[in-house]
Structure 1
Amino acid sequence: MKKDITIPVITDVYVAVVNEYNDIYKTQDWNAYIINDKDVDLDMVIIVTDGYSEKKMTSVFRKKLDVLPKKSYAKIELMQEDLFALNNRFKVSFFEGNTMYDKTYVFRKNTINLKALQNIPLMEAKGVLVK
């Protein structure tokens, strides 16, 4: 039975935490984004996030996007720097056509920092990326 189940592999969908300037509050903020680098739209995108360590756990945050257009990105949430001491997990589920995809992206503790910044696909910004 198990051999008959195919689990599709996700490619070209990423989660990034980007350090960007907030014009309203004149601060540098860390924001999490989902990036669709595919040539097709993603439907019914559901993102569940939480932070955890051996001793601490954050509350669960959920976000739904009806459609994430091809070659685009969407903001998930603002992240407080205190969270970077925890493992930050993003569980992403979506439909591509009639197929459901599911993947968990994890930013390990202390991996989100200014020294780890890199260019983010589709965005003219620098951040930390998980593929």
Structure 2
Amino acid sequence: MIKDLPDNTVQDIAIAVALEGETVEGKTWYVYIINLKDEPLENILITSKGYGEKDGEQVKTSTLRHMIPSLSPKTSAIIEPIDEQTFGLNNEYWLSYYIANTIYDKKFIFLPESIVDMNLIKLPVVNKPGVMIK
């Protein structure tokens, strides 16, 4: 039965955490979806949540759901702001979208302490420093 399912592999799509700016109070971060494909994405659904251990206790954040009607080729869209206090948790983004009439989905997980200055790169399309999972 599983062999009968189509292989809808997600390629050329990224989730990124970008540094938007810095003030005396702290840094401002946003999560983006980046479409590196040459075709648009339609009906994009993203759920986000954080989970893990902090100070010896299990912690879970609320699950948030986001909908983006469409995303043109070689563009990006903001999913949500993200608080630096959650960087010590697993930050999970479950992405589903359509291309034509075919659905694709993939889970992206930023592991604890992976969003640090040492891992920052210049993000494609967004052109800001950040951490990206492709």
Structure 2 residue 108 is matched with structure 1 residue 109: no
Give the CA deviation at 1:8: 0.8
Give the CA deviation at 1:7: 2.9
* CA distance, structure 1, for counterparts of residue 59 and residue 21 of structure 2: 29
Give the CA deviation at 1:22: 6.9
* CA distance, structure 2, for counterparts of residue 96 and residue 7 of structure 1: 14
TM-score, reference length from structure 1 = 0.93
Over 2 Å off, 4+ runs: none
* CA distance, structure 1, for counterparts of residue 130 and residue 22 of structure 2: 15
Partner of 2:88: 85
Partner of 1:37: 36
* CA distance, structure 1, for counterparts of residue 71 and residue 2 of structure 2: 31
Unaligned residue ranges in structure 1 (runs of 5+):
none
The size of the alignment, in residue pairs, is 130
RMSD value, Cα? 1.8
Unaligned residue ranges in structure 2 (runs of 5+):
none
* CA distance, structure 1, for counterparts of residue 32 and residue 95 of structure 2: 12
Kindly provide the CA deviation profile for residues 66-107 of structure 1, in whole angstroms up to 9, marking residues without a partner as x.
Answer: 111111000011111110010000000000011000000000
* CA distance, structure 2, for counterparts of residue 130 and residue 65 of structure 1: 19
Partner of 2:123: 120
Give 1:1-131 correspondences, 5 Å limit.
1-21=1-21, 28-54=27-53, 55-131=58-134
